[in-house]
Structure 1
Amino acid sequence: MLVSAADDRQHLGELADRFGPAVRGFLARRLSNPADVEDLSQEVFVRLSRHDDLKGISNVEGYILQVAANLLKNRYRTTSRTLTVVPFGLGPVAHQEAEAASPERILMDKEALAGLLRALAELPERTRAILILNRLDGLKAHQIASRLDISVSLVSKEMMRAAAFLRTLDL
């Protein structure tokens, strides 16, 4: 079946309308500069427009977010000195070279880190372990489930629990 270019553009537009906010949110949680968020969001859909068979993608949302993650990794690799990645749970952090960090900034960062460590200590042991395996070790839910001998569903629930708890804190 031949698909016209107009159909492809319309489908791409629908995907951008449907998943654009999720892509921008995904990137905004990892970048501090709104211009970088917009640039990478647009690049996600530019890359998607180059895909030969958009309708043939079985998990469109997963595919789109993977494209965004890959672009973020590539951008970070090429501009690691100027691009600011936002650590999980700490909110936007200004990018500064270590030599140029002010004493106030260092104190604020130390206090934020101490607050995060206190918050982690308040989490139940399994929830804390899952959060650390995911955020620090970079393991996916199925890998954590296998390592801790629990279900993937339970891993997801514990991650949501940890994220909700951390959002309630004033870090």
Structure 2
Amino acid sequence: MAADDRQRRVDDLVERHGGRLQRFLRRRVRNAADIPDVIQEVFLRLLRVPNHETIRAPEAYILTIARHVAQQHALQSAGSAASVELETVLSELRAVPETDPALAVTAEQCVEELDRALLQLSPKVQATFLLYRRDGMSMDEISARLGISRPMAKKYLARALVHFRKRLKDME
């Protein structure tokens, strides 16, 4: 697909789905002034897709991209830098042996629940949890990385753990 065709396709998608995208992002981006930047990034990523014809559900595809961009924006806003990627953690959890379909379905449901639970946390609490659990950082390293005090880093981690415990009890 030529660049002009891709641009026309994206323009059409902006016209048809731009309002829904803005409403979607208003619930996910804390600072309303950042929404235009996030939207621009979503459509820039969409322009990079080589074959737009293969996208079966454009609105769902756009909202998925928007969710990823909003998550990255939230983590960067929390001062955690681009190295803390929520999607990296989730993709590792999705790596389930394909030999047992029931196990794969259960694992996918757990990953989706974890994703929803993480999205409910503030960006700094998310970043603290990921830096501690995924990257194995100490409280001192986390506090230096996020620009917060050590006791605040401990408080953020405790909030995350309490939140996950509550969500696990709700699932049972």
Identify the TM-score tier after normalising by the shorter chain: 0.3 to 0.5
Q: Using structure 1 for the length normalisation, give the TM-score.
A: 0.45
Higher helix share: 2
Q: Using structure 2 for the length normalisation, give the TM-score.
A: 0.45
The structure that has the greater radius of gyration is 1
